[in-house]
Structure 1
Amino acid sequence: MREGNEDDQNSKLVTKDDFTSFDYEEPITGFDSVGYFDLSERYSKARQIAEAAGDAVAAKVYALLFTICRFHFKPEDRGEPYGPMFVSGDGYRTAIPSDFKGDQAAIFGQVAELTKNPALRARLADIASINLPRDRQSKMNTIRGLNESVRLVLDGKASFDGGKPENHVWLGVEYLQRALVIGRMRGSDPEPVGETKDLLVRMRQEGFASKTSSIFGRAAKLDLYYGISDVAGIAREAAEFAIHDANKGDQEGARRNWLIAAQAHEITRDGAANASCLNEVAECHVRDAEAMAASAMNATGSLMRAIEQYRQVPREHRPPGRIEQLQAKLVAKQAELHDEMNTFEHSEDITDHVNRVMDAYSGKPLADCLYGLALIENIHGIEHYRAEIKAQSEEFVFASVIDSTVHDDEGKVVARIPALSMTGEITDDDVRARCSQIMTFEHQASVKGAIRPAIHVINSEHAVGNDLFMLLARLSFFVPPGHEAAYAVGLNRFFAGSNMEACCLLVPQLENSLRYVLKRIGLDVTKITNSSTQEDVMLSILLSKFREPLEKLYGANTIFQVEMIFQSRAGFNIRNSIAHGTTSDNDFWSFTHSYGCWLIYRMLMAPLIKNWEQVKLVLEKEGYV
């Protein structure tokens, strides 16, 4: 990956004298925010003013501070806690901490000692400690700065981004998570780490007392992971919170809290209590199915999740006959699915809506941004490409009547493109053989002109991480139970611009998700082998034998794109190339690979869009606004 480096001054050394030659904290003096987006906005405006005044040193310092405040914060990633805020389709990206190794990192550590704003101090010190692992003082300054930031917010003396406590206090858990990761490193002082743990316990307790799930859930899980509080106490709180949510009709909230209680009992090796909590999780899915009885598609998804959840519980701890009862309900609901087979297709013109979202993407609620991103591009199907190929054949007559071949990087022939018929007829096979070049240009336009810019805005203005995508994956019936984490991490990496990791996680999941959706509508997606064993059918069979139901679910255009991008040898065949290790490093950042990841995101979002108002309520409850 190459750094985009839009600002030349970012690649030049900014010395300690540059920082101390004026008050570099003046733009944030008296500003009570400890949120990095807020700080970056202040420094962006300060830079513009300095440039207009001809103050080159101040402009250079402000530009650098803007850059480091705009890192993509990923506290759950111990190896790379900060990623680029933007990655373009041609491999350029914004800065990351390793771009400042050497003298600049050392200067950051020195300047951190002089910095008053605790969040800025923590960020400067953290970049120094990442690049200089033996810099013990910078590690401690990072932890203390993060602690102080969270304490000020909890005391009501500061705020995170936007100054809206109802949707940003939970960000304190992410600050503390980063502090705890550093605290486990060699050479860390236990005293500030002890304060970090105290603050985390305080956040969990306040979240529980106020019944704020966005705070309690995150803090409780981190508390359990680091073994800070009494595990039995957390189990009791989570169970009480789950009952509270269930009584309000919030089955999703109840399910998450029962899982926290189950995790706590697993730590204490209380198998019976753990199983009891998991049974409650299954019943949350059952109640969801009952609440969504009017939608057979949604109800069958919830029933399948309930059955899968019960199967994870040891037989001796399951309610006798419960799985059989749910299977009978599932079969009855599956019989109602045929009237609902067009649920996920969006044939209406959504251009006006998407344009309204994109016209003012900056400042929009996260839910609107996620919705808009899923529908940001119209997906083209086979008839679109037939028309394009016909137009090209009329313009370039000679080229259309000559056979040609497609070669891989090693020169092997991987596909043949036969000449078009002299009658002018363009068959479906002709389209499949010839549309990949047209698709390449369309994917480039989509990724560069819409998808990546939209993701850039989302990353810049919202806290996007594994937890968000885990929530979406759990809500979406496109994701089979037990595969939510693969989708969550994969989508998080895609949003962060790490296409290699995103493709390797998301692409292999697609085939299984298509099978899962077909199973939900009662279809048998297995085959009997010659040895009389049963195995799942592969993607090629799904796209041929089961094409009609898939097209009814997702639309013919989407399934055509799936075929050409992931499976067809005449297309891009990226599923097989990733599976067999033939994808080169650069290929992962191709526009088609990026478009393919977005297409998987769109398919995950498709079953949520029809009930988006309900999804928005869940997102808002978790603090994603």
Structure 2
Amino acid sequence: MLATLAAALQMHDRLNLPKDPYGAMMQMGDRRTAIPSDWKGESISVLERLGCRATNPVIRARLCDIAWFLQRNLVQTGHQAAAAYLATARGLCDGMIADATDGQVPGVWILTLQKALRRGLQICMQLRPADPELGELEAFIFDAADQFEAKGNPRALLAMLTLAYDFELGDPAAYAGRIEQAATQQGEGGPHITTDALVLAAKAWRRAKDTDGHDRCMMQASEAMVAHANSINQAFSASHFLQEAINLLRGLRSPAAKDRKRDLRIDLIRMQAAAEDEMGVFEHPADLTKLIEWTTEHTNGVTLLDGLFLLAAINRPKSISDLTTEARRNIVDHPLTAMFGVQQHDADGYVRFRAPGASPGQESPEALEHQIAKQEEIHRQVVVEGQIKIVIRNLASHFPISEGDILPLCRESPFVPTDLSRTYARGLTAFFHGDMTTALSILTPLLEASLVYVLKGHDVDVVRHDEEAGTQEDMTITQLFKNLRKELDDIFGDAITGDIDRVFLARSGPCLRHAVAHGTMHDQTPYMPDAIYACWLILHLCLLPLFDRYKQLRVGTDSQEPAAEDGVSVSDAAGEI
């Protein structure tokens, strides 16, 4: 009996999930502490009886809550749970119940008070009828708010009025101004608490249909973030909070708000430019000796044709499902990395990509995208430094590679448009010669042309109609991936289209197509691993349809077929577009 009681009281409350409010306090592998679903049948009745008999309102509230949560036909038990939570709140305010952690963290009892009232209200909102407990909870919240306001306790006042807003209690016009006034008195709580309180006041004014009050509070919240940004000596961190200040003004239509938003954007650009001096490089060394030795061994003594196909087969893009599975496993193994939000900045300090933080067990598409982009960036660096560069260096030391050597392959490849084979050959030759600026500048725009060419060959409509101008033109690569991603996946496979997206288009990656098309890359960009991998990927796409013909050409030859990564022969790497 005591073990059951202890297990019920030690569950972790998750009141942000009212339909699943309790979870395991600890989980290690396949072992965990108790969760509500562990109680079934007669054990639920045991919880109910223990709860009804308990004299301590905290214990009575928890046990009756769990029993009602597991068996909703126990309506009276639900009412008892709500009443017990109200009694807990009264005991905290009267000093009859003490929070054990309040001595260590002064004022934490306010959070405990708010939590008890919140759970009581959550239960009432699911009971039919909700009264009398709902009316009693509402009356207590506003009475407590009056007392806290009279005592000059803005933190406790805000806790009560937050509940009033969240559960739509009372008239918002009657307490919106009180929230606003309490927010301005929260200076000692820090800028974030002040800002959150002002945003809450703005929401209350909006619910009361007072646009002026809403805009005034949002302007004040923005100025609180601006003051916080100006108090930070680091431009990189300050620019983040300045962006938050701009976000708070989004949607405000008054001339003052628009003018302020314009001024803040100018300040943000200046601050981001200053942040460039604060950026640094973090390195984690990796030993690629064995990989380089393996690659060197398998490229010795090959012909130029074998070397080209070996290079094209040296790596295979991973499928979306495999990358997603790996990313989720990394998040589970390293949960702390997913709990913090991420911002990616370009060389000028501008925010290029954002991924919000996620609590354990939750998953956001942006956080997953960032995790995949991070692990793929490492993979590209290993492939480039340990394999691609080694094969190219070996071929360059044995063969004077010219456009004439590459042109026949470009002419035969169904990936290369017939009128662009020489341009392709020039770009790939520059890649083999190490002229990466020329290679990247030529091959990146050609990728778009090839995708359009292949789609047209599969009878896919790639024409974009401008109805206003009455003109037609082929879709850009961005529009192709937005509107025709399924068709691209059907033709190339999601592994290849995903790789193209991550390398050339996605904001979470190097975004090379944007850098080349808009002239934002610097002199070192073409020689970075991402750019070298991008050129290799285009070579891979060019030669991929020719692997079957290459295998037929090698049939009957006495030479030993070179192997690709993980012992896979280049012939086995064949595929068709």
Secondary structure in structure 1 of the residue aligned to 2:123: helix
Match for residue 384 of structure 1? 286
- Counterpart residue identity of residue 139, structure 2: D
Structure 1 residues 82-121: aligned runs within 5 Å: 82-89=22-29, 91-121=30-60
2:170 is aligned with 1:229: yes
Partner of 2:368: 507
Do the aligned partners of residues 431 and 226 (structure 1) sit closer, same or farther apart at CA in structure 2, a change above 3 Å counting? same
Equivalence for 2:79: 140
Match of 2:3 in 1: 63
- C-alpha distance in 1 between matches for 2:60 and 2:300: 71
1:104 Cα offset (Å): 0.7
Q: 1-side partners of 2:502 and 2:148: how far apart?
A: 45
- Counterpart code for 2:93: L
- Which structure 2 residues correspond to residues 454-465 of structure 1 after superposition, within 5 A? none
Deviation at 1:203, TM superposition (A): 4.4
Read off the aligned partner of 1:187 and give its amino acid letter.
Answer: R
Q: Which residue of 2 aligns with 1:519?
A: none
Residues 149-160 of structure 1 correspond to what in structure 2 (within 5 A)? 149-160=88-99
CA distance in 1, matches of 2:331, 2:214: 47
Q: Let me know the Cα RMSD of the aligned residues.
A: 4.9
CA contact (8 A) 2:102 2:108 kept: no
Structure-2 change in CA distance of 1:206 and 1:317 (3 Å): farther
Contact 2:86 2:137 in 1 (8 A): yes
Aligned CA distance change for structure 1 residues 508 and 188 (closer, same or farther; 3 Å): farther
Change (3 A) 1:160 1:477: farther
* Letter of the structure 2 residue corresponding to residue 129 of structure 1: W
Deviation at 1:298, TM superposition (A): 2.1
Deviation, structure 1 residue 145: 1.6
| Structure with more relative contact order (C-alpha pairs < 8 Å, separation 6 or more) | 1
Q: TM-score, normalised by structure 1?
A: 0.51
C-alpha separation in 2, matches of 1:446 and 1:245: 36
Corresponding position of 1:312: 251
In the TM superposition, what is the alpha-carbon distance from 1:270 to its structure 2 partner? 1.1
Amino acid at match of 2:167: Y
1:543 partnered with 2:481: no
2:275 match: 337
User: CA contact under 8 A between 1:258 and 1:278: conserved in structure 2?
Assistant: yes
Q: How does 1:177-576 map to 2 (within 5 A)?
A: 177-188=118-129, 190-209=131-150, 212=153, 214-245=155-186, 250-292=190-232, 294-314=233-253, 316=254, 318-319=256-257, 321-342=259-280, 381=284, 383-384=285-286, 386=288, 487=356, 490-491=358-359, 494=360, 498=361, 501-502=362-363, 506-508=367-369, 531=475, 539-541=502-504, 542-545=508-511
Structure-2 change in CA distance of 1:445 and 1:268 (3 Å): closer
Q: Amino acid of the residue matched to residue 79 of structure 2?
A: M
Q: How far 1:100 sits from its partner (Å)?
A: 0.5
After TM superposition, the structure 1 stretch with the greater mean CA deviation from structure 2, 121-130 or 213-222, is 213-222
Q: Distance in 2 between matches of 1:73 and 1:260?
A: 24
| Residues 1:306 and 1:531: Cα distance change in structure 2 (over 3 Å) | farther
Is the CA contact 2:154–2:183 (under 8 Å) kept in the aligned structure 1?
A: no
Q: Is residue 58–residue 84 contact of structure 2 (8 Å, CA) maintained in 1?
A: yes
Larger-gyration structure (1/2): 2
Query: Percent identity of the aligned residues?
Result: 19
Shift, 1:386, TM fit:
3.4
Mapped contact 1:160–1:169 kept (Cα < 8 A): no
AA in 2 matched with 1:88? M
Structure 1 residues 474-512: Cα deviation after superposition (integer angstroms, max 9, x where no partner): xx867999x99x946x31xx1xxx3xx435674257799
- Preserved contact between residue 147 and residue 176 of structure 1 (Cα < 8 Å): yes
What residue is the counterpart of 1:397 in the other structure? none
Mark the CA change 1:143 to 1:443 in structure 2 (over 3 Å): closer, same or farther.
closer
2-structure distance, mates of 1:330, 1:446: 32
The one-letter amino acid paired with 1:302 is F
* Partner-residue secondary structure (3-state), 2:27: coil
Do the aligned partners of residues 204 and 341 (structure 1) sit closer, same or farther apart at CA in structure 2, a change above 3 Å counting? farther
- Structure 2 CA distance, aligned partners of 1:274 and 1:132? 42
C-alpha distance in 2 between matches for 1:538 and 1:168 = 50
Change (3 A) 1:510 1:171: farther
Contact 1:251 1:284 in 2 (8 A): yes
Q: Structure 2 vs 1, CA of residues 487 and 477 (structure 1 numbering), >3 Å: closer, same or farther?
A: closer
Partner Cα distance (1:104, 1:163) in 2: 34
1:304-351: CA deviation from partner (whole Å, max 9, x where unpaired)? 22222223212x354452222222222222221211113xx778xxxx
Q: CA deviation at 1:544?
A: 3.2
Distance 1:204 1:113 in 2: 30
Amino acid at match of 1:313: L
Per-residue CA shift, 1:15-45, capped at 9, x if unaligned? xxxxxxxxxxxxxxxxxxxxxxxxxxxxxxx
**203-212 or 102-111: which moved more?**
203-212
Please tell me the residue identity of whatever aligns with 1:276: R
Please say if residues 327 and 371 of structure 2, whose CA atoms lie closer than 8 Å, have aligned partners that are also in contact: no
**Distance between the aligned counterparts of 2:48 and 2:141, measured in 1?**
26
TM-score of the superposed pair, with normalisation by structure 2: 0.55
Q: Name the count of aligned residue pairs.
A: 380
SS in 1 for 2:80: helix
Q: Is 1:180–1:193's contact at 8 Å kept on the other side of the alignment?
A: yes
Q: How many angstroms apart in 2 are the aligned matches of 1:287 and 1:265?
A: 24
State the secondary structure of the residue aligned to 1:134: coil
Give the superposition deviation at 1:233: 3.2
State the secondary structure of the residue aligned to 1:68: helix
Per-residue CA deviations over 1:216-271 (Å, capped at 9, x if unaligned) read: 4333222112222332232212221233345x694333312211110111111111
Q: 2:383 aligns to what? A: none
Q: CA deviation at 1:196?
A: 2.0
| Contiguous gaps of at least 5 residues in structure 2 | 302-310, 375-444, 449-473, 483-499, 516-528, 530-536, 538-577
